[in-house]
A and B are shown apart, each in its own frame.
Chain A
Amino acid sequence: MLREFELDLPGDLQETLTRLPGGTPLAGGTNLLVDLRARREEAKRLVWLGNIEAFRDIKIDKAHVAIGGGTTVGDILRNSAMIDAAPSLVGAARVFGGQMVRNQATVAGNVCSGSPAADTVPPLLSLDAEICLASSTGVRSVPIDSFYSGFKKNQRKQDELITGLSWSVPGPSTANLFYKLARRKGDAITVVGVAVTVTRDGDRCSDARIALGAVAPTVFRAKDAEAMLTDQPLTEELIDEAARAAMAQSNPIDDIRASADYRRHTVHMLTRRLIGQAWRSLAGKEADK
């Protein structure tokens, strides 16, 4: 049974920020309430974020995307402009939990939970997202690449709230993909998550991002692999070599879902596959130019 807790219901953002010290923000509750019931979580006072005005707003223009801290995973799916503004994030949203969880869980909450298997994080890393954090004393912005510091540890201070996330819309020469490998197709915890971004300039890859989920204490970018691809023509051999580098940078564990060995193997396979798909999809666009 659910532990007893106090529930704060602040009316707006300012009031929320003043209540946060010593409290735990409650958005969708798809982790927090489950953990409270399972007694994995000790929070005594929850601060409800549901009254913050325009907290679920999504703003997309030609170059930029900004989503409010209350944006749910379902909101991502229901916004038709998102498919071009964040293809990998839409891909992750489609296979995120089940329908009821998607309607309730927020992207910011998923980012904040810090689970290495959090499905929205590899896409946001592949998109170089910025995290906007606010407290009663001020506002700051942190690149998601420097947000995580260890297993379920991140740069958010206890009295801070993620008020939004933003990133640049990928250009026409950029492909951005995500794949979730899990033990079943619906409502499953990720075994390996891979998000890639490839930007093509003529016959070369000008920029690459490879973000890996569930294969290390945090979601991380395989920067060795990214560097191998940057400013190179992507041959099958090079892609395979980079995918092996991504595998080498992974540090997965054995758990009841999969062994570390299998996770490493599939990082290799999926990174190779996604980079190849991204590169080939851009070849068509290059030819159209």
Chain B
Amino acid sequence: MTDQTTARHTEANVVLRQVGKPLERTDAEGKATGRTRYAGDYTMPGMLHAKVLRSDIASGKLKRLDASKARALPGVTAILTAEDLPDRLAATDMPGQTGQKRAATDRQILVREIIRHHGEPLALIAAETPAIADKAHDLIEYEIEPLPGVYETSAALQAGAPVVTEPDNIVGEHKIRKGDTEKGFAEADHIIENTFHTQFIEHAFLEPEVGLAWVDENGVINIRMSTQVIEHFRFIADAMGVPHNKVRILGAMVGGGFGGKEDITVELYLALLAQATRRPVRLAYTREDSFVGHGKRHPFDITHKTGVTKDGKITALEVTIRADSGAYVFLSPYVLLYCAVAAPGPYRIDNVKIDSKAIATNNMYTSAFRGFGAAQACVAYEAQMDEIAKAISIDRFELRRHNFMRTGDKTATGQTVESAIWSDKCMTQALAALGEPTNAEGPVKVGRGVATYQQSYGRITWFHDTAEAWVGIEVDGTVIVRSGVTDIGAGQASALGQIAAELLGVGLDDVVVYNSDSAVTPLAGTTTATRALYMTGRAAHKASEILRGRLVEFAASELGVRPEDVDLANGQAFVIDNPESAMSLKDLAARGASEGLQRSELAMFRAPFTDPIDEETGQGPVFPDFTYGCHAVEVAVDTETGEVTVLKSVGAHDIGQAINPQAVEGQIEGGALMGQGYALSEELIYQEGKLVSPSFSEYLIPTSMDMPEIKSIILESRSGLGPFGAKGIGEPSLTPVAPAIANAIADAIGTRVFDLPITPEKIVRALREADENA
């Protein structure tokens, strides 16, 4: 799928020796040869096998739970029920944060009485073999009295609705007020209003949740697992009632996260069972377990009411947002905030009014998912742009150009964007890359669509985010990097190696990166929020730069020149104007060691710190910075059957500076695939809160036969806050894809499907309705 002729556009011609090159990543060989150990590959002598018993209904009261037959089964070591646990809750928040209604909304570890969603855990089992654990699972007897549940956000807000979260099912609210929308609408020639709906979707990472826990000789609960967030060790300790330094989470290479391994998954169950049995315990979710075992992407209903002049200037925007948070709050308030802040898109609009609510239901809880609310916002605002263009008969690309924020403009919350805003450049290049239009024949219609976006990278600035990294040079001149960052498959660890190699004048081959151990590697925060490269990369950059300074100074004195005359490259320290005068890093490090030179540095990088935004107006800075870009597609739609074929798919993003362009292409291609599934085929279907599509035969991810070649265009403004001016691409690569496809379909068939996924059946229905209205 990779187009080998990646276009790269760099503003300034800076000499970089390691960064910006498609080097073979440090994790490539191990993955290609199968030697990489994932969390599921670890075993220990005497290891037990765990299983989770879950509720198969969404709303009910647990009347009776009898594990006596299961406990009596030979080979069963432990069955834990709520009665066996301390009466503590499990945090559903981010490490270091306090949610809007945290105390009231944490989650019970196991059901004590009330069941709030399908799949809520009832009991934990540990047994000598997986087969015995399975048998024990079937031997636990229980009786559930169904209770009336609430499964639609509109129903959950009505008086007398079942209360999932006290007092009113509202788990998050955000407002944004800018300018005067009444005045703005008065200035408008047209007012266009539409409501867009997005669906529940599944992260569908290749590697289901898995881990292995044991209590060591110091009484520390060790958990080796697949996670995006090793810093949940604190929440695990809190839930267990042990000191924080008695829980350690060790990561492994992670087989995909996408936000689905951002919350606590298997680690708390593993910790409880390891503590109860004092034996190593392994818990590996099946795919079916994974479908019901972790939170999903929030469905949103987003209404845009836009005022626009006849020549296409947007004068006012009102947005109403509703998100289904499911049965527990988890990260809903933050996802909602991201959606509200993103809702105006990459456009400069002077009069804005946004109201948003996250609402509890008895559906599966919803939480982080790549794009984190901002992706749903883009589905709405970019479809709305095309609807505006259609309504006022103006070119949809010109409408965007007319309203794009430009570098130096403020967001709707009044935050000045310090970095480059290259939306126009990205859109122009993406459109050009679509090339000549494909011919349409008979009932098949061809259409094109774009979506542009504004997507934050880095966490909310009042979280006061920090990251640490340690960089050291060995006496033979090789380099070691240590950082807690979890590598979820995008090359998060390898990027740190590339940064250290650049600054210390070695090759990536000369660097080894140790990562993802909450007790041993310096804590670097989460691999979420498109922050890993930005935050950890800056920490590694800072540590490397300090170390580089010491090495250069020492080399200068050895070579008898000033430090500013010395550079490090190709494993050597050399005099810039006289490269013959040089010494190898090996000699330099060895000499330095004998002279007591400090050959390592631990550095912390701090993101910008701000106070929370104003609650009534939403005014204030929210994020460190934003990525801008565009995805463009061409589709063919069979108007008789409604089938859609994506013919061309182009992502053009200003990512500031590519550390490894091949890894960036990987993100753009992965985003294109995931976004195509979001647009066309992926949907978790819940009936009365029960998941009725719990397998990959019903949950339809695009296959290689569904995907076109994806073209990646990397633009580099070098204006970002990340290392070497990098911005983030993890989430942004996904965000514009689904709305671009939706717009292309609307362009092809002349009418729009307002709710994702845009299935063939919905297209046929929309065409029929358009026909009837015509």
Nearest-Cβ distance from residue B583 to partner chain A, whole angstroms: 56
Residue contact A256 to B643, C-beta cutoff 8 Å: no
Residue contact B703 to A187, C-beta cutoff 8 Å: yes
- A184-B681, A266-B641 known; A258-B698 Cβ under 8 A: no
- A266-B641, A269-B640, A273-B640 known; A183-B760 Cβ under 8 A: yes
Residue contact A98 to B761, C-beta cutoff 8 Å: no
How far apart sit A234 and B475, CA to CA, in the bound complex (Å)?
86
Nearest-Cβ distance from residue A58 to partner chain B, whole angstroms: 25
Q: Which of B134, B693, B764, B765 contacts A256 (CB 8 A)?
A: B693
Tell yes or no: B14 within 8 A of A by CB.
Answer: no
How far apart sit A48 and B700, CA to CA, in the bound complex (Å)?
32
Nearest-Cβ distance from residue B757 to partner chain A, whole angstroms: 9
Tell yes or no: A275 within 8 A of B by CB.
Answer: no
B-side interface size class: 20 to 34
Q: What chain B residues lie within 8 Å of A1 (beta carbons)? A: 130-131, 134
Tell yes or no: A78 within 8 A of B by CB.
Answer: no
Q: What chain B residues lie within 8 Å of A191 (beta carbons)? A: 760
Nearest-Cβ distance from residue B298 to partner chain A, whole angstroms: 21
Q: Which of A98, A184, A187, A269 contacts B641 (CB 8 A)?
A: A269
Tell yes or no: B576 within 8 A of A by CB.
Answer: no
How far apart sit A273 and B442, CA to CA, in the bound complex (Å)?
11
Tell yes or no: B702 within 8 A of A by CB.
Answer: yes
- A183-B681, A184-B706 known; A262-B761 Cβ under 8 A: yes
Q: What chain A residues lie within 8 Å of B131 (beta carbons)? A: 1
How far apart sit A18 and B692, CA to CA, in the bound complex (Å)?
41
Q: What chain B residues lie within 8 Å of A59 (beta carbons)? A: none
How far apart sit A152 and B645, CA to CA, in the bound complex (Å)?
33
Q: What chain B residues lie within 8 Å of A265 (beta carbons)? A: 764
Q: What chain B residues lie within 8 Å of A184 (beta carbons)? A: 680-681, 700, 702-703, 705-706
Residue contact A186 to B641, C-beta cutoff 8 Å: no
Residue contact B685 to A183, C-beta cutoff 8 Å: no
Q: What chain A residues lie within 8 Å of B700 (beta carbons)? A: 183-184, 188
Nearest-Cβ distance from residue A190 to partner chain B, whole angstroms: 12
Tell yes or no: A86 within 8 A of B by CB.
Answer: no
Tell yes or no: B759 within 8 A of A by CB.
Answer: yes
Tell yes or no: A289 within 8 A of B by CB.
Answer: no
How far apart sit A181 and B640, CA to CA, in the bound complex (Å)?
11
How far apart sit A189 and B703, CA to CA, in the bound complex (Å)?
13
Nearest-Cβ distance from residue B311 to partner chain A, whole angstroms: 42
Q: What chain B residues lie within 8 Å of A257 (beta carbons)? A: 698
Tell yes or no: A270 within 8 A of B by CB.
Answer: yes
Tell yes or no: B33 within 8 A of A by CB.
Answer: no
Q: What chain B residues lie within 8 Å of A186 (beta carbons)? A: 703-706
Residue contact B761 to A258, C-beta cutoff 8 Å: yes
Q: What chain B residues lie within 8 Å of A188 (beta carbons)? A: 700
Residue contact A185 to B705, C-beta cutoff 8 Å: yes
Nearest-Cβ distance from residue A126 to partner chain B, whole angstroms: 20
Q: What chain A residues lie within 8 Å of B706 (beta carbons)? A: 184-186
Interface string of B687-721 (1 = CB under 8 A from A): 00000110001101011111000000000000000
Which B-chain residue is minimally distant from A268 (CB atoms)?
B640
Residue contact B643 to A181, C-beta cutoff 8 Å: yes
Tell yes or no: A146 within 8 A of B by CB.
Answer: no
Q: What chain B residues lie within 8 Å of A183 (beta carbons)? A: 681, 700, 759-760
Tell yes or no: A14 within 8 A of B by CB.
Answer: no
Which B-chain residue is minimally distant from A4 (CB atoms)?
B131
Residue contact B641 to A181, C-beta cutoff 8 Å: yes
Nearest-Cβ distance from residue A99 to partner chain B, whole angstroms: 10
Interface string of A128-168 (1 = CB under 8 A from B): 00000000000000000000000000000000000000000
Nearest-Cβ distance from residue B638 to partner chain A, whole angstroms: 9
Nearest-Cβ distance from residue A200 to partner chain B, whole angstroms: 22
Q: Name the interface residues of A167-214: CB closer than 8 Å to any CB of B.
A: 181, 183-189, 191
How far apart sit A265 and B639, CA to CA, in the bound complex (Å)?
12
Q: What chain B residues lie within 8 Å of A258 (beta carbons)? A: 760-761
Q: Classify the interface of chain A: helix, strand, loop or mixed.
A: loop
From A183, A188, A189, name the one whose CB has the most chain B CB atoms within 10 angstroms. A183
Q: What chain A residues lie within 8 Å of B645 (beta carbons)? A: 185
From A98, A187, A270, name the one whose CB has the most chain B CB atoms within 10 angstroms. A187
Residue contact B764 to A262, C-beta cutoff 8 Å: yes
How far apart sit A181 and B693, CA to CA, in the bound complex (Å)?
20
Interface string of B106-141 (1 = CB under 8 A from A): 000000000000000000000000110010000000
A interface residues, how many (CB within 8 angstroms): 21
Nearest-Cβ distance from residue B643 to partner chain A, whole angstroms: 7
Q: Which of A98, A181, A266, A273 contacts B703 (CB 8 A)?
A: A98
Which B-chain residue is minimally distant from A189 (CB atoms)?
B697
Q: Name the interface residues of B753-774: CB closer than 8 Å to any CB of A.
A: 759-761, 764-765
How far apart sit A134 and B130, CA to CA, in the bound complex (Å)?
40
Nearest-Cβ distance from residue A110 to partner chain B, whole angstroms: 15
Tell yes or no: A235 within 8 A of B by CB.
Answer: no
Interface string of A248-269 (1 = CB under 8 A from B): 0000000011110010011001
Q: What chain A residues lie within 8 Å of B764 (beta carbons)? A: 262, 265-266
Q: What chain A residues lie within 8 Å of B704 (beta carbons)? A: 186
Q: What chain A residues lie within 8 Å of B130 (beta carbons)? A: 1
How far apart sit A270 and B706, CA to CA, in the bound complex (Å)?
20
How far apart sit A262 and B641, CA to CA, in the bound complex (Å)?
9
Q: Name the interface residues of A265-282: CB closer than 8 Å to any CB of B.
A: 265-266, 269-270, 273
How far apart sit A245 and B706, CA to CA, in the bound complex (Å)?
32
Which A-chain residue is minimally distant from B697 (CB atoms)?
A189
How far apart sit A260 and B388, CA to CA, in the bound complex (Å)?
35
Q: What chain B residues lie within 8 Å of A270 (beta carbons)? A: 640-641
From B131, B641, B697, name the one whose CB has the most chain A CB atoms within 10 angstroms. B641
How far apart sit A136 and B20, CA to CA, in the bound complex (Å)?
71
Which B-chain residue is minimally distant from A185 (CB atoms)?
B705
Nearest-Cβ distance from residue A106 to partner chain B, whole angstroms: 19
Q: What chain A residues lie within 8 Å of B705 (beta carbons)? A: 184-187
Which B-chain residue is minimally distant from A1 (CB atoms)?
B134
Nearest-Cβ distance from residue A210 to partner chain B, whole angstroms: 17
How far apart sit A181 and B642, CA to CA, in the bound complex (Å)?
10
How far apart sit A11 and B697, CA to CA, in the bound complex (Å)?
34
How far apart sit A186 and B681, CA to CA, in the bound complex (Å)?
12
Which B-chain residue is minimally distant from A181 (CB atoms)?
B641
How far apart sit A273 and B692, CA to CA, in the bound complex (Å)?
34
Nearest-Cβ distance from residue B270 to partner chain A, whole angstroms: 20
Q: What chain A residues lie within 8 Å of B702 (beta carbons)? A: 184
Nearest-Cβ distance from residue B676 to partner chain A, whole angstroms: 10
Interface string of B359-382 (1 = CB under 8 A from A): 000000000000000000000000
Nearest-Cβ distance from residue A231 to partner chain B, whole angstroms: 28
Interface string of B729-773 (1 = CB under 8 A from A): 000000000000000000000000000000111001100000000
Nearest-Cβ distance from residue A118 to partner chain B, whole angstroms: 14
Nearest-Cβ distance from residue B535 to partner chain A, whole angstroms: 37
Nearest-Cβ distance from residue B443 to partner chain A, whole angstroms: 8
Interface string of B443-478 (1 = CB under 8 A from A): 000000000000000000000000000000000000
Q: What chain A residues lie within 8 Å of B134 (beta carbons)? A: 1
Q: What chain B residues lie within 8 Å of A185 (beta carbons)? A: 645, 703, 705-706
How far apart sit A187 and B765, CA to CA, in the bound complex (Å)?
25
Would you mind naming 26 contact pairs between A and B with Cβ atoms under 8 Å apart?
A1-B130, A1-B134, A98-B703, A181-B641, A183-B681, A183-B700, A183-B760, A184-B700, A184-B703, A184-B706, A186-B703, A186-B704, A186-B705, A187-B705, A256-B685, A256-B692, A256-B693, A257-B698, A258-B760, A262-B642, A262-B760, A262-B761, A262-B764, A266-B641, A266-B764, A269-B641
Nearest first, the 5 closest Cβ-Cβ pairs linking A and B are A186-B703, A186-B705, A269-B640, A185-B705, A262-B761
| A residues adjacent to B (C-beta < 8 A) | 1, 98, 181, 183-189, 191, 256-259, 262, 265-266, 269-270, 273
| B residues adjacent to A (C-beta < 8 A) | 130-131, 134, 640-643, 645, 680-681, 685, 692-693, 697-698, 700, 702-706, 759-761, 764-765
Known A-B contacts: A183-B700, A269-B641. Give 15 more (CB < 8 A).
A183-B760, A184-B680, A184-B700, A184-B702, A184-B703, A185-B703, A186-B704, A186-B706, A191-B760, A256-B692, A262-B642, A262-B760, A265-B764, A266-B640, A273-B640
